[in-house]
Structure 1
């Protein structure tokens, strides 16, 4: 677990919205799949906030929190909000290999380490065939293209204002250099037709999701009794860029779950993830944007854009109902 994963949600509003989207998906499927009988497995961080919310919203009692770092594991035992949460000092991969689930599961692969991206994608895809039909799988991946490495400035062409240096025919641009590293790292999961444009801060997350989709589709071909339905995909950044994807493992002849998911207002797939890029707002700005159909004209100023380039007014309009509100409470 990275240090960033221990940051409180008030410092990560986009991640908070991403989490609410996933909980909304689970709530939509709860009655159809009887999710209260499922086994929830994830990486809860030192405060197990996700576990508290999953139990509170869905009533799931059988839950396992997996953690490799000993001190974080000890904090989890101390902080766990429910005695029914099993805290395991082990890697998620080892836990899944050693456990035979006797019921459908919800597994959240919350990865933050970018260097192991290929094995993370492989593990997620492989799990599709080892869980019971009806299970829900979710993955979070680090989507920072700088994790591919930094080339020596002498080995690349210098780019400025759309122009490149005169040695262009001999040296790659930074994005072209990263594309070569990405292809080396992903191997058979490298999407055909991917160009250097997919290695920018804005597009790298989408490139990762294409690789994830390719790995999952290859894995599903090995099974005749099941198929997958993509339910939710997001791309967000609270300092560190991340992508997520969620799917349901369905029986091959079952169309009801897919229909329920596709009718959900926030349904999206790995081909077109939600860009969760919410602006930091004062209380007055938030109330104005919630109550006005043309908030930008009423406020009379622009809000800053992030590296994702999304309109903050459009993004807020899309997710205003789950925009996080944080306040101090004295105990």
Structure 2
């Protein structure tokens, strides 16, 4: 994500951007983007008002806190500043998530990034159906929750589970942002675009999926093109979906593989011993972005 955000310098210096996120008690993303990108204007939205004292005690730097639901906090922000908005929800797709997507799509200034993450395990309506099999099917409940105008006729029950639910979630979020942009264009002014850049799937306690895109006005199309997102190594193959699988390797195995990286053109990775090919391939794709850590033996 940080590599994507860095490319926004084609629009304006990153120090002039604001970062809006859902910090949690660790504020890991805030610390990273403040230190690596120089962003000082940061807003964290937290709905767990009962833990306000704990969040304040753990808040690094001068982060502005909003202790209220996103549906209330986002409309209160001043959207005249270019923004990096990463709404990293713990839960699955909901009507509130779509309302937030529409709000940021309607409000963000040209040159902003919008990223939205949701749990992609299963729709809540599947659990509700399993608890009450005498009632409506999971799909019928899903259509009632979101409205039939948001749910395509071709959607089936299997689309509410696993990877298919992840794809459906991303599609519905994107549709909501695109609808907001269409309404925005109907109000006059420069024509606005939302260009999806990449989607991620990964596992963080639960299966998660993220959609990321850039919103820009027609006069700044050249700035968008100068971002050269396609040159990022995880996007060079034109992959719209990047499936992040953290390799399971020992420190010794990692050090051995690192001696060959980056691979020269036309060269293949050499593997010794019992290093699994699948894990080695995953490492080659992700090694620049894996966290550094040390193992202590006592």
State if a TM-score over 0.5 links the two structures. yes
Provide the residue aligned with 1:18 in structure 2. none
CA 1:118–1:45: 2 relative to 1, 3 Å = same
In the alignment, is residue 186 of structure 1 matched against residue 160 of structure 2? no
- 1:55 shift after superposition: 1.0
Aligned equivalents of 2:150, 2:287: Cα separation in 1: 36
What is the DSSP-based 3-state SS (H/G/I as helix, E as strand, rest coil) of the residue aligned with 2:90?
Answer: coil
Q: Does 1:236 align with 2:202?
A: yes
Under a length normalisation based on structure 2, what TM-score does the superposition of the two structures give? 0.80
1:95 equivalent to 2:69? Answer no
Alignment of 1:318 onto 2:285: yes
Change (3 A) 1:301 1:120: same
Structure 2: any 5+ residue segments left out of the alignment?
186-190, 261-267
In the alignment, the residues of structure 2 paired with residue 256 and residue 94 of structure 1 have an alpha-carbon distance, to the nearest angstrom, of 34
**Residue 220 (structure 1) shift:** 1.7
- 1:23 CA drift (Å): 0.7
State the partner residue of 2:14: 35
Task: Using structure 1 for the length normalisation, give the TM-score.
Answer: 0.73
Q: Is the 8 A contact 2:249 2:279 kept in 1?
A: no
Residue 43 of structure 1 deviates from its aligned partner by: 1.5
SS in 2 for 1:36: helix
The whole-number CA distance in structure 1 between the counterparts of 2:255 and 2:139 is 43
Q: Give the CA deviation at 1:180.
A: 4.5
- CA distance, structure 2, for counterparts of residue 228 and residue 88 of structure 1: 27
Q: How many equivalent pairs are there?
A: 277
CA contact (8 A) 2:117 2:210 kept: yes
Q: Which runs of 5+ in 1 are unaligned?
A: 1-21, 157-176, 304-310
Give how far 1:323 is off: 1.8
> CA shift at 1:111, angstroms?
1.1
In the alignment, structure 1 residue 298 sits paired with structure 2 residue 272? yes
Matching residue within 183, 186, 194 for 1:222 = 183
Cα 1:287/1:191, change in 2 over 3 Å: farther
CA distance in 2, matches of 1:76, 1:154: 38
Residue number in structure 2 paired with 1:247: 213
Aligned to 2:122: 145
Root-mean-square deviation (CA, aligned residues, Å) is 3.0
SS at match of 1:245: strand
